[in-house]
Amino acid sequence: METDYLTAGPVSQMLISKLVEKMSHKTDSGGHSIFLGQVRADEIGGKKVKAIEYSAYAELVSIEAEKIKKTILSEFSDVRSIDIIHSTGVVNAGEISLLVFVSAGHRLQSMQACGKTVELIKEKLPVWKKEIFEDDSHIWK
Amino acid sequence: MGVKVLFFGVLAEVSGTSIKHYNDVKTINDLKLKIQDDFPEIVHYNFRISFNSEITDKNLILKKGDEIALMPPFAGG
């Protein structure tokens, strides 16, 4: 499943570096804050998580992500752009499942807005995760 | 073809499907009862409703072609 906000599998290093490259043309920005969410190999009841399988309501993800961007842009006047990319499908422990990239004129708002964006994503994006253990059993989070 | 119901997260596993069509349902509450008849275990789960890509708590009137999604608590990130 690929949209502006969703990518199939882990967020690749290429995706991250493409965004950094894109920013070199945005010379009105003085600071970028990047948040990378990584799949953690939690141990639950003696079993270790080997991967997370994400599913999403793609249409609603786009609608809610646009709303999040509007909220952030209205709250932080120095923010120039916000990119959000979330994984769908299987992401192994140690791989990246969420990328938030916020650019602003100056560092303070880029950092504050990045943190707020991540919190809103957790609260508002219709994404679900199934934690898969090493023995292939799973739980829903 | 009536309304399209999407099941997400654990609810797709509980119902064994991600999409099901329902005919002759007048309202969201009406639809919920039909879904509970088909998948009785669903009453043990919390979920919110999206009506044509808009989250709602209202008992809206349904018409042919509407898309209803059953969404457990979000867990992105």
Total domains in the fold of chain B: 1
Instruction: Tell me what pLDDT residue B40 has.
Output: 96
The domain segmentation of chain A, as residue ranges, is 6-22+29-140
Parallel, antiparallel or unpaired: strands B3-7 and B67-71:
parallel
B69, closest residue in chain A (CA to CA): A57
* Averaged pLDDT for residues A64-87: 98
Q: What is the pTM of this model?
A: 0.94
Flag whether the ipTM exceeds 0.85.
yes
Alpha-carbon span B24 to B30, nearest angstrom: 9
* pLDDT confidence tier of residue A124, bands split at 50, 70 and 90: very high
Tokens 């119902």 belong to residue: B15
Which is higher by pLDDT, B66 or B24? B66
Instruction: Tell me what pLDDT residue B1 has.
Output: 62
Find chain B residues with C-beta within 8 A of A124's C-beta.
74
Task: Write the pLDDT tens digit of every residue in A18-64.
Answer: 999 999 988 999 999 999 999 999 999 899 999 999 999 999 999 99
CATH architecture of structural domain A6-22+29-140:
Alpha-Beta Complex (3.90)
Of residues B72, B62, B61, the one with CA closest to residue B4: B62
Is residue B23 assigned to a domain? Answer: yes
Q: At residue A131, does pLDDT exceed 80?
A: yes
Of residues A56, A113, A135, the one with CA closest to residue B53: A56
Is residue B63 assigned to a domain? Answer: yes
User: Is A56 in Cβ contact with B74 (below 8 Å)?
Assistant: no
CATH (domain of B37): 3.10.20.30
Query: What is the Cα gyration radius of chain A?
Result: 16
Give the bridge partners for A6, in sequence order: A86
Its domain, for residue B36, covers 3-71
Q: Does A5 touch chain B (CB under 8 A)?
A: no
The per-residue pLDDT of chain A, averaged, comes to 96
* B72: amino acid identity, one letter: P
Of residues A47, A53, A37, the one with CA closest to residue A119: A37
Of residues B24, B71, B17, B77, the one with CA closest to residue B48: B71
